[in-house]
Amino acid sequence: MTHNAQPAASLFIDGTFVEGEGAALPVLYPYTGQEIASLREATANQVALACQAAARAQPAWAAMAPADRGRILSRAAAIIRDRNEELSRLETLDTGKPIQETLVADWASGAAALEYFGGLAATVTGQMIPLGRDWAYTRREALGVCAGIGAWNYPSQIACWKAAPALAMGNAMVFKPSEETPLGALKLAEILIEAGAPAGIFNVVQGRGEVGAALVTDPRVAKVSLTGSVPTGRRVYAAAAEGMRHVTMELGGKSPLIVFDDASLEDAVGAAILANFYSSGQICSNGTRVFLQQGIAARFLDRLAERLATIRTGDPLDPDTQFGPIINGTQAGKIRAAIAAGQDAGARLVCGGAGEGAFIPPTVFADATDEMAITRDEIFGPVMTTLTFADEAEAVARANATGFGLAAGVFTRDLTRAHRVVAALEAGTCWINAYNLTPVEMPFGGVKMSGLGRENGTAAIEHYSQLKTVYVGMGAVEAPY
Ligand code: NDP
């Protein structure tokens, strides 16, 4: 079956679709490799035009009553929910992720963010600081034009998670999706206009890394929010620093999931599955280092292999499919090389392996050591490394022995231990007896090399605004001379 997902044009600038004038950008359906849309990159000039449109539109948007801005975002959320099925289908074509997942996890989460920040917009207030006769107050103001740059694993969710708080706070945004998944952000741009957002408030430019680099350094850009890998994050952070721009960096990870002997075996296995194989393992916060206490390790691995044997792999548009292809051949090649390196290093393959074509099955390693590349490096595919440990202190020390710090999970029935362990873990987002749940109400982000700033929750408001302090003199000015 051939699919056509061609948008009206490649870019969205100042309220309308505009054709890109840069290099060709074919969009492939990861399941079949078929070209589903043919886009063109933005030129440097078109990136500048998008920033110009955003800068022109932003002051009037920021001057609106926050409740009015919020209503537009809430309307956009309602439109997304109405069209969830059609949008999810497009997301599946763009990413290859099973429709079973995209129907509940992608645009649904994007709509939740628009609704949440839409509702929050009018609640943001300043402080009144009494100083005796005089007083001071603070205003939380927009930053201006924000640049958003997304990864390919959750393209529409990422666009919404960045646009919602940015727009709620009165900023305008120029968004560059990953070159692999350019379609969802264009839909968001159209939907925002339909919901009543003024032209220029949310613009989309397409292209590879150089287009992102041009966007980050545009003089009108006051803030950059990137979701991507650590190496890209380093480059973008450095480029943003030159203009003293604000940044939010949502980067990669190699997160630990610690399972103590007293954990519910079935729940821990279920969480480890969600922490490694949802979206074919292409999730930044995945708990890919699963630390098993010695008393539970064998039972855990047996049950894990048993449950993974039932996974339904196949056509992502089939509602019964649970596990889809890898985004592209290059990424699949990197994952296969990581699996081969794990075997060469002496780790035991419990299940999975190289797979075929676009598909790599859920792969689990046992008998791994902390020094192996499969334990140290982010693979960004369906590969779980399990390790065993004796006691709590050892688990915490080994879990923290990484440069990453995005997320972590703990499974235990011992309440005090659960809280003690998460307090000791160096990670921005932790789960106790759960994994990978990221409701919009909860701040999300990493520490160490996994990034800075937070998305979602009320915390995100601070990352899309700046504080102005106003001192108010109430009487005569007494000057010494
Ligand atoms: P990349 O870092 O390769 O790319 C991220 C985005 O940055 C893409 O849109 C990319 O464009 C763009 N880009 C690349 N170079 C530059 C540059 N010099 N200046 C500006 N923009 C640039 O990540 P992937 O897309 O491969 O995504 C996978 C990575 O993202 C993993 O490490 C994963 O852990 C992380 N990730 C983190 C999440 C989080 O919330 N913490 C969530 C999801 C993923 P293009 O791709 O078009 O070249």
Dist CA 160 CA 173 (whole Å): 11
Quick one: the chain helix, strand, coil %, rounded to 5?
A: 40, 20, 40
Mean pLDDT of 245-261: 98
What's the 194 CA to ligand 1 centre distance in angstroms? 29
Pairing of strands 128-131, 134-142: antiparallel
**CA separation for the pair 89, 259 (Å, rounded):** 36
The preferred substitution site among 179, 229, 288 for testing ligand 1, maximizing ligand atoms within 8 Å of CB, is 229
Cα 228 to ligand 1 centre (Å): 3
CB 358 within 8 A of CB 96: yes
Residue 289's φ and ψ, nearest 5 degrees, are: -110, 100
Structure letter (DSSP) for residue 446:
-
pLDDT, average across residues 74-80: 98
Among 47, 227, 286, 288, residue to substitute to test ligand 1 (most atoms within 8 Å of Cβ): 227
For the stretch 47-65, pLDDT in tens is 999 999 999 999 999 999 9
DSSP state of 348: E
Rg (CA), the chain: 23
Q: Report the alpha-carbon distance of residue 226 to residue 210 in Å, rounded.
A: 14
Nearest to 90 by CA among 137, 26, 152, 156: 156
Phi, psi of 141 (to 5 degrees): -110, 160
Rounded Cα distance, 91 and 155, in Å: 8
Q: Whole-angstrom Cα distance, residue 216 to residue 147?
A: 7
Distance between CA atoms of 328 and 310, rounded to whole angstroms? 25
Nearest atom in ligand 1 to the alpha carbon of residue 331 is 26
Q: Which run of H or E residues covers position 193? A: helix 183-194
Active-site residue 441, yes or no?
no
pLDDT, position 123: 98
Q: Each residue of 254-279: b (16+ CB within 10 Å) or e? A: bbbbbbbbebebeebbbbbbbbbbbb
The count of C-alpha atoms lying within 13 angstroms of the C-alpha of 174, restricted to the half-sphere facing its C-beta, is: 36
Average pLDDT, the chain: 98
Note the pLDDT of residue 469: 98
Q: What is the pLDDT of residue 364?
A: 98
* Residue with CA at minimum distance from ligand 1 atom 34: 252
Tell the residue nearest (CA) to atom 8 of ligand 1: 178
Cβ < 6 A, ligand 1 pocket: 149-153, 176, 178-179, 208-209, 212-213, 216, 227-229, 232, 235-236, 250-253, 284, 378, 380, 406, 446, 451
Half-sphere exposure of 350 (CA within 13 A, CB side): 25
Phi, psi of 304 (to 5 degrees): -60, -50
**So what's the pLDDT on residue 1?**
78
Helix (H, G, I), strand (E, B) or coil at 13: strand
- Which of 95, 178, 280, 331 has most ligand 1 atoms within 8 Å of CB, for mutation? 178
Catalytic residue of the set 91, 250, 378, 392: 250
User: Residue 236 in contact with residue 399, Cβ under 8 Å?
Assistant: no
Over residues 316-331, the mean pLDDT reads 98
Q: Report the nearest atom of ligand 1 relative to the CA of 153.
A: 43
Ligand 1 centroid – CA 229 distance (Å): 5
Which of 160, 232, 452 best tests ligand 1's pocket when mutated (most atoms within 8 Å of CB)?
Answer: 232
Residues 6+ apart with CB under 8 A from 356: none
Burial of 4 (0-12, 13-18, 19+ CB in 10 A): exposed
Cα 104 from Cα 115, distance rounded (Å) = 16
**Ligand 1, atom 15, residue with closest C-alpha:** 209
Please state the φ and ψ torsions of residue 114, each to the nearest 5 degrees.
-65, -40
Of ligand 1's atoms, which has the minimum distance to the CA of residue 213? 19
pLDDT in tens, 400-455: 999 999 999 999 999 999 999 999 999 999 999 999 999 999 999 999 999 999 99
How far separated are the first and last CA of the chain, in Å rounded? 85
For 299, half-sphere exposure in the C-beta direction (CA atoms, 13 angstrom radius) is 14
Nearest ligand 1 atom, CA 176: 9
Distance CA 113, CA 119 (A): 10
Give the pLDDT of residue 272. 98
Going 200 to 201 to 206 to 209, the CA torsion angle's sign is positive
Let me know: does 44 contact 76? Beta carbons within 8 Å.
no
User: For the chain, what percent of residues have pLDDT higher than 90?
Assistant: 100
Residue 251: CB partners within 8 Å, gap ≥ 6? 226, 227, 228, 229, 230, 232, 233, 284, 406, 446, 449, 450, 451
- Hey, what amino acid is at 178? S
Residue 248 has pLDDT above 90, yes or no: yes
Nearest atom of ligand 1 to the alpha carbon of 208: 47
For residue 189, how many C-alpha atoms fall within 13 Å in the half-sphere facing its CB?
A: 33
pLDDT at 50: 98
Nearest Cα neighbor of 218 from 451, 46, 23 is: 46
Taking the centre of ligand 1 as the mean of its atom positions, its distance from the CA of residue 185, in whole angstroms, is 15
pLDDT tens across 273-306, in order?
A: 999 999 999 999 999 999 999 999 999 999 999 9
The two three-digit tokens of residue 431, written as one number: 């789960």
- The CA distance from 106 to 188, in Å, is 12
